[in-house]
Structures are given as structure tokens and as C-alpha cells.
Amino acid sequence: MTLRPILIHPDPRLKKICTPVAAVSEEMRALADDMLETMYDAPGIGLAAPQLGINKRLIVMDCVKEDDATPEPVVMFNPAVTWVSDETNVYEEGCLSIPEMYGEVTRPAEVRVSWLDIDGQAQEEQFDGLWATCVQHEIDHLEGKLFIDYLGAMKRQMITRKMQKLKREMARP
Ligand code: K1U
Ligand code: ZN
């Protein structure tokens, strides 16, 4: 397993629509392992392939936050939302591609999602709570959408400018 660098916004690779995974191959499984390792190391509760510069419909998640709890890693190839609740939830979201910035996002409180698992088997499940928020945030990444796209133009611009400054500082020798 390999830790991979996470792209920081703004980056054109974070704005692209990702292509479906044609087959759950060994190469794709190895990529999912790298993504889980990179997510746990960050640390984060989710990660999408485009955040590593890979234009594929693949996400990983583990929304179990307690340190002493058993991890519940989930790998989803080609995830698709098949149902959303009318009830909504507001959550102050963050993003590993927008470090240390947060914003309130309103999303459906519950969603049903279909996907292919690590063995290439079709799965479908309903999610609520933080899992529902996270899976929608990650699927948005596959559509080139970031949580800041739900915020007002002023806040989005302020965050983007801060990230541009951070990237300039990180690039300095
Ligand atoms: O996709 C990402 O950038 C990962 C992101 C997922 C996410 C966070 C909040 C709401 C929706 C989706 C993160 O994991 S940011 C880090 C984070 O939330 C966290 C980190 C350590 C412990 C608990 C949470
Ligand atoms: Zn994110």
C-alpha cells in the first residue's frame, strides 16, 4: 500500500466528471487500498479518486470516528444515488482538498446508493447520519463538484483565495 498526495483546490482535475470503472481489476483494488491508507493517514472519513488526480468513479469511506471502535472501511466502484429522502440535514463539511476550511451544506438526510464492491459484486444500501452526508460529498467529487459550490459566492471566493495562497506557500523552496 502507498500513501498518495492529495490534490488541493483549485485544480482542474478536481472539476472534471469521472469515467466509470470498466472492471474491478487487481489494479483497481490496489488503488482502493492506497486510497484507504491515504484517507486514514490524512485523517479523513472519505476520499474520492479525483482527489488523487485519478479520473475514475471510485470512492472510499469510513465514518466511524471513535479511536477505539472497529474500523468500517467501505469501497465503492461506480456509486450511484438511487433514492433521496425529502428530509434534509445541515452539516458543517470539510474536505481534504480544501484543508482547514469548513462550510454548512444542506443535503438529503437519507440516501440509497448502488455500487460495485471490492469483489465486483453489485450492492445497494440506505445511509443516514454522517454516512449519508459523506457518501453524497464523495459522489459529488466524481461529478467535479466541491462542498464550496454549495456556499455563497463571497465565501467560496474567500476560501479559493486562501487555498491559492496556501499552494503558493507550499511550492516555496
Ligand atoms: O472527501 C473528502 O475530502 C474527505 C472529507 C469527507 C467529508 C467530511 C465532512 C463531511 C462530508 C465529507 C473529510 O474526511 S474532511 C476530514 C474530516 O471530516 C474528519 C477528519 C478526522 C476525523 C473526523 C472527520
Ligand atoms: Zn472532499
Protein residue with least CA distance to atom 6, ligand 1: 46
- The question of whether 138 is a catalytic residue gets the answer yes
Query: What is the 3-state composition of the chain as percent helix, strand, coil, each rounded to the nearest 5?
Result: 35, 25, 40
Of residues 89, 130, 94, the one with CA closest to residue 107: 89
Ligand 1 pocket list (CB less than 6 A): 43-48, 65, 91, 93-97, 133-134, 137-138
Q: Average pLDDT for residues 131-139, to the nearest whole number? A: 99
Domain limits, the chain? 12-171
Among 64, 67, 95, the mutation site with the greatest number of ligand 1 atoms within 8 A of its Cβ is 95
Name the percent of the chain lying above pLDDT 70: 100
Question: Which fold, 12-171?
Answer: Peptide Deformylase (3.90.45)
Q: Which of 92, 138, 143, 169 is catalytic?
A: 138
pLDDT-based confidence at 66, cuts 50/70/90?
confident
Closest ligand to Cα 105: 1
Predicted TM-score (pTM) of the model is 0.98
pLDDT tens digits for range 140-170? 999 999 999 999 999 999 999 999 999 999 9
**Spatial distance between the Cα atoms of 10 and 109, rounded to a whole number of angstroms:** 28
- CA 46 vs. chain centroid, Å, equals 5
**Percent of the chain surpassing pLDDT 90:** 97
CA 141 to ligand 1: nearest atom: 1
DSSP helix/strand/coil, 116: strand
Statement: residue 78 has pLDDT above 90: yes
Q: Between the CA atoms of 102, 103, 109 and 113, what dihedral angle is there, to the nearest 10 degrees?
A: -60
Identify the pLDDT of residue 12: 98
pLDDT band at 65 (very low <50, low <70, confident <90, very high): confident
The residue ranges of DSSP E strands in 1-138, in sequence order, are: 46-48, 58-61, 74-84, 88-93, 103-108, 111-116, 122-127
What cell was used for 104?
454548512
- Per residue in 82-121, pLDDT tens? 999 999 999 999 999 999 999 999 999 999 999 999 999 9
Ligand nearest to the CA of 104: 1
**What contacts 143, CB < 8 A, 6 or more positions away?**
17, 18
